[in-house]
């Protein structure tokens, strides 16, 4: 399917979907950036951080699959647009309430919203793409994801240091609402596009292996390890790492920078670099017709980055964050593109739901595991574990990249 096979430009879909997704993330990523160092402003105990930062992911475990099936059966807009409005409501709860239980309700609502946004957004992107350009379009959608993550982390850090925790969250809620309104007014329906795709839409050259179940399981593993290491362990602990190294205030180039701002800058830089890496690696996998070979190359900088973080050198994060960000952008875009290649059109919503369930399980376990390991191994042990998991996935990616198409993997 080329762009001319669509009744409208794919950018007419990409822009409102991407904008809505990016703005929806501002409250969530702000919370990750500032709550570990401003939990007292939210009137929650430090011991509750692991629960609050994971609660949204646990609820998604039960909802990803059913919501994916709904996306296979119902109009996309009917599910995607309301999910954006629920996301705005969840961030408003962060802004307007105090204490553990209201914040927990907000986190659970955000989990419900993100299922609809993320499963739906990726399903919509698969609607407008085919195997010959899927890496590019999926990568571009990941750009929106990382732009929202980076913007939320940086904006949340700046606003929290400047305005305070609650006012910062209120600004995030208003921006999320703006994204929901953009999708409401400008997003066209894409579900019917599947029936319009020609039979020859599959691009020759992409491997079709006999053992599809094993390869599909590896796709789940690629996203799962990515989410465990980056969203589950690095994102919730980077503030603690920077606080350990610099204290509450860092002095950089003669300027005093608060730890919340510094954490936001670090997480924002991670998102911005991933935002560039995702479409680059996705497009490369289209050109080479070998997504696993490109995935193997993308895992290498992740191993190096987590190794540097484990060393806890003063300048280590300056090098480590860009390296892990490159790996994160590659892994996230290629896992979705691989699943699209391996799934029939009527299965994609459901399979995306299962894929994201694996990712959500990993990212939900990540903060709990990280905060449980810190008293035993310190942050060094946490980051060494992440590097080791990336090494395992590198071996898996190399295995699939050298296995000829049509040859079954060994049992």
Give the tens place of pLDDT for each residue, 305-354.
999 998 877 777 788 889 999 999 999 999 999 998 887 777 888 899 99
pLDDT tens string 282-299: 999 888 888 999 999 999
- DSSP assignments along 203-259, one per residue: PTTS---S-HHHHHHHHHHHHHHHIIIIIIIIHHHHHHHHHHHH-SEEEETTEEEEH
Rounded to an integer, what distance in angstroms lies between the CA atom of residue 255 and that of residue 298?
Answer: 35
Rounded to an integer, what distance in angstroms lies between the CA atom of residue 4 and that of residue 389?
Answer: 42
Q: What percent of the chain has pLDDT over 90?
A: 47
Q: What is the structure's pLDDT at 256?
A: 61
CATH superfamily of 10-187+210-402: MFS general substrate transporter like domains (1.20.1250.20)
Q: Looking up tokens 């408003």, which residue turns up? A: 92
Q: What is the structure's pLDDT at 77?
A: 95
* Higher pLDDT pick, 231 / 173: 173
Alpha helices per DSSP H over 25-75: 26-38, 49-73
Q: Which residue in 172, 161, 167, 153 sits closest to 29, CA to CA?
A: 153
Rounded to an integer, what distance in angstroms lies between the CA atom of residue 396 and that of residue 303?
Answer: 14
Q: pLDDT tier at 207 (50, 70, 90 boundaries)?
A: low
For the chain, the farthest-separated pair of C-alpha atoms sits apart, in whole angstroms, at 62
Q: What is the structure's pLDDT at 176?
A: 95
Query: At residue 406, does pLDDT exceed 70?
Result: no
Q: What is the structure's pLDDT at 201?
A: 44
Which run of H or E residues covers position 359?
helix 348-402
pLDDT tens string 79-109: 999 999 999 999 999 999 999 999 999 999 9
Token pair for residue 353? 């739901």
Token pair for residue 346? 């009527």
Q: What is the structure's pLDDT at 200?
A: 37
Q: CA dist 406 to 136, 206, 218, Å?
A: 25, 11, 17
pLDDT tens string 380-397: 999 999 999 999 999 999
Q: What percent of the chain has pLDDT over 70?
A: 88
Q: Looking up tokens 């696993």, which residue turns up? A: 292
Query: At residue 194, does pLDDT exceed 50?
Result: yes
Judged by average pLDDT, the poorest of 146-160, 187-201, 330-344 is 187-201
Rounded to an integer, what distance in angstroms lies between the CA atom of residue 149 and that of residue 314?
Answer: 25
Q: pLDDT tier at 401 (50, 70, 90 boundaries)?
A: confident
pLDDT tens string 18-41: 999 999 999 998 888 788 888 889
Give the number of other CB atoms < 10 A from CB of residue 205. Answer: 12
Token pair for residue 397? 């990616």
Tell me if 139 sits within 8 A of 282, measured CB to CB: yes
């Amino acid at each position: 399917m080329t762009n001319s096979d669509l009744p409208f430009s794919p950018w007419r879909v990409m822009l409102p979907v991407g904008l809505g997704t990016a703005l929806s993330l501002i409250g969530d990523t702000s919370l990750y950036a500032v709550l570990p160092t401003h939990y007292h402003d939210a009137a929650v105990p430090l011991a509750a951080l692991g629960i609050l930062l994971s609660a949204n992911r646990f609820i998604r475990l039960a909802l990803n699959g059913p919501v994916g099936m709904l996306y296979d059966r119902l109009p996309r807009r009917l599910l995607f647009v309301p999910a954006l409005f629920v996301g705005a409501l969840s961030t408003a709860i962060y802004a307007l309430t105090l204490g553990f239980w209201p914040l927990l309700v907000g986190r659970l609502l955000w989990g419900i919203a993100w299922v609809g946004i993320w499963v739906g957004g990726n399903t919509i992107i698969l609607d407008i793409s085919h195997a010959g350009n899927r890496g590019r379009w999926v990568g571009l959608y990941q750009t929106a994801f990382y732009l929202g993550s980076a913007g939320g982390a940086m904006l949340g850090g700046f606003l929290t240091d400047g305005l305070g925790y609650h006012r910062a969250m209120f600004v995030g809620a208003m921006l999320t609402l703006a994204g929901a309104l953009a999708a409401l007014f400008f997003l066209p329906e894409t579900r019917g596009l599947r029936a319009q795709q020609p039979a020859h839409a599959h691009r020759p050259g992409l491997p079709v292996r006999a053992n599809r179940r094993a390869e599909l399981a590896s796709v789940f593993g690629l996203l799962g390890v990515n989410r465990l290491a980056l969203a589950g362990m690095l994102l919730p602990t980077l503030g603690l790492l920077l606080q350990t190294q610099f204290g509450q205030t860092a002095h950089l180039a003669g300027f005093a920078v608060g730890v919340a701002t510094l954490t936001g800058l670090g997480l924002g830089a991670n998102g911005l670099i991933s935002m560039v890496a995702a479409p680059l690696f996705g497009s490369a996998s289209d050109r080479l017709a070998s997504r696993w070979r490109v995935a193997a190359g993308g895992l290498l900088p992740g191993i190096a980055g987590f190794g540097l973080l484990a060393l806890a050198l003063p300048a280590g994060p300056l090098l480590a964050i860009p390296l892990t960000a490159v790996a994160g952008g590659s892994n996230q875009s290629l896992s979705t593109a691989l699943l699209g290649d391996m799934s029939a059109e009527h299965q994609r919503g459901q399979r995306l739901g299962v894929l994201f369930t694996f990712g959500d399980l990993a990212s939900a376990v990540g903060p709990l595991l990280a905060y449980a390991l810190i008293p035993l191994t310190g942050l060094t042990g946490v980051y060494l574990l992440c590097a080791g998991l990336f090494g395992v996935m590198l071996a898996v990616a190399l295995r699939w990249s050298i296995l000829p198409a049509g040859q079954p993997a060994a049992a």
